[in-house]
Structure 1
Amino acid sequence: MPTASHSRPMLVAARDAFLEVWREDLVYTARRWQIRRRMKERRLLREQTGRRGVRRG
């Protein structure tokens, strides 16, 4: 049976792997909402400046 000192690196590695996946999930969720917010902001700016239908290539 492994001692506490031997299992500590395994626990740290498991914790780090879990936190990395968790961070990636949070970044993806935030990114999805940021895209919606940016679309709304751009639409508002186009309406304010009168630039309708103008697209950059």
Structure 2
Amino acid sequence: MTLEWFKSSHSTADGPSCVEVAATPRTVHVRDSKDPDGPQLTITPAAWADFIRRTAE
């Protein structure tokens, strides 16, 4: 399965790098955009939603 990676709309091609996120129905993958072939975090959609909720507080 090929993942479709997304960066924040606040990121620009010539600006600082950030994280990229790809999602499937059962997993969310997070990686460093500066090192797309490097390690990535794989978590559940529930854990991702909790992370987003907590960082928005």
Provide TM-score, normalisation by structure 2. 0.23
Provide TM-score, normalisation by structure 1. 0.23
Q: Which has the higher strand share?
A: 2
Q: Which has the higher helix share?
A: 1
